[in-house]
Structures are given as C-alpha cells and as structure tokens.
Amino acid sequence: MTQHRFKVGQLVDFAPARSGVPTAGRQYAIVRLLPAEGGELLYRVKSKAETFERIARESELAQRSPK
C-alpha cells in the first residue's frame, strides 16, 4: 500500500496541474489525507487566504523550502 508523502498540518506549495485554476498564492496546509483516486493519492488542502478547502493530487504538491 502506498503511503502519503505529506502529513496533516504540513505546509506545502500547491501548483494545480490544470491551467487557469485560480489559487490564493502557493502556500497551503494539509488538512486531511484522502484515499487514492486513479492511482494517485489525494489531499484536502487549505490556504489562509481562502474560506474553503481544495482537493489536490500528490503530484500537484511540493514540500515548502525553508526560507
């Protein structure tokens, strides 16, 4: 069974694979781990700048680099 790469509470960069999808910056927090769909693990993510959560594929997320 494949393990999620990111953990709940972790800050990540979110870059949607679908062009034209507006996002509130790139920094999002992992809110919930979701099961795989179409062979790829999913996450529920949220930005502080948005009032709603999004669903992101693992391939759309990257670990935040320390500043």
pTM of the model: 0.85
Mean of pLDDT values over 59-67: 83
- What is the tens place of the pLDDT at every residue in 13-56? 998 877 766 666 688 999 999 999 999 999 999 999 899 999 99
What is the predicted pLDDT for the residue at 18?
76
What is the predicted pLDDT for the residue at 61?
95
4-10 own/partner pairs: CB under 8 Å, 24+ apart: 4/33, 4/41, 4/43, 4/58, 5/41, 5/58, 5/61, 6/30, 6/43, 6/58, 6/61, 6/63, 8/32, 8/33, 10/63
Which one has a higher pLDDT value, 26 or 57? 57
